């Protein structure tokens, strides 16, 4: 029988599908926009510069191997170690199991579920808006039981009493809380929830995708077991990285033997930890090829926060929120979240006036001002009392009152133009 040569094939094999004409241009044409949306945000110049670095292999000691400075005899951390130190600062935690995953924050959600829940265990999700419903649906797809505790109105802060009643009733193994829900621009008070969960032998999973760098956040002081975020929001890092940390209490819940481990190979925390050098031997074991240049960008974004200080960047987001709210009130616009203390910093949801076509305002801002704003993730539904609203984002480098002025000027013009047009119809 003749041995087949993989390269001895029809010489016209690559002509079956022709070259795509859409990619014939050497450079893609995309207009730069000011991203006043719930994320991603625009990048700082240093982050963009780091993203264009020459590629570094994940097997290169410069990537993972810590060393000793021969002159000062001090430890010198490489890229992975530096990122871990930075994430611990951002999360305000000393957890050893703190790292970045190649994927979006949705991947971090799934990572938490498939590592810490078994088919007989359940999740309790506090549902303020889109994200609490999303993770409950995700848990059900994975074969877990999911209970939903729903807010009674937009902007309701779940009280400790109501949470405890649900913990006592459902006895979940994990409680999910979205610290700042980007779908409605709301912030939930986390203090006391961790202690409450531990009283009922329940792990606390906190979604800090928006709250990171916009809101005071302390993983260790608030007894949070699993905390995750993304790089592309107030951190002003590149999309495509999920940031996550696990308390020792959570790590102790993992199966001790490799025989019964996470049903997802890619998301197995034990394997991921080894690839970050987090094990007894402090050795680095190959798991998958990470998004190396995204990690360069993440490091630069963390350095920018450190240079400004975590406290200062949170204060800046709060001040810009106040600036935006003052300007919107001058336009006689109303907020989705009525209680000012429950409105998040970084994302503000505003009701669309009855005489305004919200999508046309968004089109006007994009076309005339090169500004993008967000619409609703929730479908308007009169029966469910879901109104139409915009979401204005001012995250990271865009948390700047000068950019707020540009946004409000464009918004004012769009509202005036649309009302003039309606008056002539």
Binding residues for substrate: 391
For residues 298 and 371, the answer to whether their CB atoms sit within 8 Å is: no
Helix (H, G, I), strand (E, B) or coil at 251: helix
Distance separating alpha carbons of residues 210 and 141, to the nearest angstrom: 25
- Give Cα 106 to chain centroid, integer Å: 8
**Cα Rg for the chain, rounded, in angstroms?**
24
Binding residues: 391
Other CB atoms within 10 Å distance of the CB of residue 379: 8
Other CB atoms within 10 Å distance of the CB of residue 134: 19
Beta strands in 264-341 (DSSP E): none
Distance separating alpha carbons of residues 236 and 202, to the nearest angstrom: 33
**Residue 149 parent element (H or E):** strand 145-150
Distance separating alpha carbons of residues 187 and 224, to the nearest angstrom: 16
Q: Is the dihedral of CA 87, 92, 98, 103 positive or negative?
A: negative
Return the residue matching tokens 């003039």: 420
- Give Cα 249 to chain centroid, integer Å: 23
Distance separating alpha carbons of residues 150 and 377, to the nearest angstrom: 17
Give the chain's length: 425
């Amino acid at each position: 029988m003749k041995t087949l040569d993989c390269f001895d094939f029809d010489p016209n094999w690559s002509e079956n599908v022709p070259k795509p004409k859409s990619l014939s241009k050497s450079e893609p044409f995309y207009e730069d926009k000011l991203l006043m949306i719930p994320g991603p945000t625009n990048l700082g110049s240093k982050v963009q510069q780091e993203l264009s670095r020459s590629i570094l292999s994940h097997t290169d000691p410069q990537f993972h191997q810590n060393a000793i400075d021969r002159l000062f005899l001090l430890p010198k951390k490489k890229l992975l170690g530096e990122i871990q130190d930075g994430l611990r600062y951002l999360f305000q935690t000393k957890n050893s199991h703190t790292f970045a995953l190649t994927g979006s924050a949705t991947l971090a959600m799934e990572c938490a579920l498939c590592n810490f829940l078994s088919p007989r265990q359940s999740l309790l999700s506090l549902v303020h808006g889109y994200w609490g419903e999303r993770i409950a649906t995700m848990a059900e797809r994975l074969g877990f039981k999911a209970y939903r505790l729903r807010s009674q109105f937009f902007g309701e802060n779940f009280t400790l009493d109501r949470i405890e009643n649900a913990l006592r009733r459902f006895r979940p193994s994990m409680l999910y809380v979205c610290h700042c829900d980007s779908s409605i621009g709301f912030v939930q008070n986390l203090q006391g929830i961790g202690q409450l969960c531990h009283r009922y032998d329940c792990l606390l999973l906190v979604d800090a995708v928006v709250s990171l760098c916009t809101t005071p956040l302390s993983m260790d002081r608030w007894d949070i077991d699993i905390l995750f975020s993304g790089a592309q929001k107030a951190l002003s890092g590149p999309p495509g990285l999920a940031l996550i940390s696990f308390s020792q209490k959570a790590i102790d819940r993992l199966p001790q033997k490799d025989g019964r481990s996470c049903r997802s190979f890619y998301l197995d925390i034990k394997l991921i930890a080894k690839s970050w050098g987090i094990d007894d031997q402090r050795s680095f074991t190959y798991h998958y090829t990470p998004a190396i240049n995204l990690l360069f960008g993440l490091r630069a974004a963390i350095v920018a926060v450190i240079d400004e200080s975590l406290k200062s960047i949170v204060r800046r987001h709060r001040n810009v929120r106040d600036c935006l709210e003052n300007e919107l009130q001058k336009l006689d616009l109303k907020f989705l979240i009525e209680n000012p203390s429950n409105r998040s910093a970084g994302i503000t949801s505003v009701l669309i006036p009855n005489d305004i076509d919200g999508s046309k305002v968004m089109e006007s801002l994009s076309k005339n001002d090169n500004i993008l704003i967000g619409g609703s993730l929730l479908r308007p539904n009169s029966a469910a009392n879901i109104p139409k609203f915009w979401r204005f984002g001012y995250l990271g480098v865009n948390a700047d009152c000068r950019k707020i002025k540009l946004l409000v000027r464009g918004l004012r013009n769009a509202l005036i133009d649309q009302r003039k047009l309606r008056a002539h119809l």
